[in-house]
Amino acid sequence: MPPYEIRPISAAETRHLRHVVLRPHQRPEELVYPGDDAPDTVHLGLYVEGKQLGVASLYREPQPGSKSPTEWRLRGMAVLAHEQGRGNGAALLQACIDHAARHGGTRLWCNARTTAAGFYRRLGFSVEGGEFELAGIGPHYLMWRAL
């Protein structure tokens, strides 16, 4: 794999991959997530030779049932299908983990598609609770890891 660059991007710059990889059936306005423009939110893009291959967004948001101000939510993580399995997602997720930890995070959580659960497990995440359905998107697990 050629050298990659991970850098902060705008919320708008995440939406193409959110659409192509995660939600091809949704309209553009449905790809705007609550908190996208919050002051603590960070969006990261992974680039190889100037081409965006992956995106992820981090929100300072407690896990459901918690009120902890030190929890971060990972959302909208997407890597182009033909670039998966090459370490791009792991590098992008590690950058997210590092950002949350540097900013006082003690826990990172996400609603992971069941098809991605193995990826998250390999990077230290655990499943909490049972599988659940996100309407119009599919089966998910709540997953988390300590920072």
Q: What is the pLDDT of residues 42-96, one digit of tens each?
A: 999 999 999 999 999 999 999 999 999 999 999 999 999 888 989 999 999 999 9
pLDDT band at 135 (very low <50, low <70, confident <90, very high): confident
What mean pLDDT is predicted for residues 89-117?
96
Which region, left, alpha or beta, applies to residue 10 given φ > 0 means left and ψ of -120 to 50 means alpha? beta
Tell me how far apart the alpha carbons of residues 140 and 135 are, in angstroms, rounded to a whole number: 10
What mean pLDDT is predicted for residues 87-106?
96
Tokens of 29: 């306005």
Ranges of each domain in the chain: 4-107
What mean pLDDT is predicted for residues 28-39?
90
pLDDT at 122 over 70: yes
Q: Would you state the pLDDT for residue 35?
A: 96
pLDDT band at 3 (very low <50, low <70, confident <90, very high): confident
DSSP for 109-137 reads: EEEEEGGGHHHHHHTT-EEEEEEEEETTT
Tell me how far apart the alpha carbons of residues 17 and 71 are, in angstroms, rounded to a whole number: 25
CATH number for region 4-107: 3.40.630.30
pLDDT band at 1 (very low <50, low <70, confident <90, very high): low
**Mean of the per-residue pLDDT values of the chain:** 93
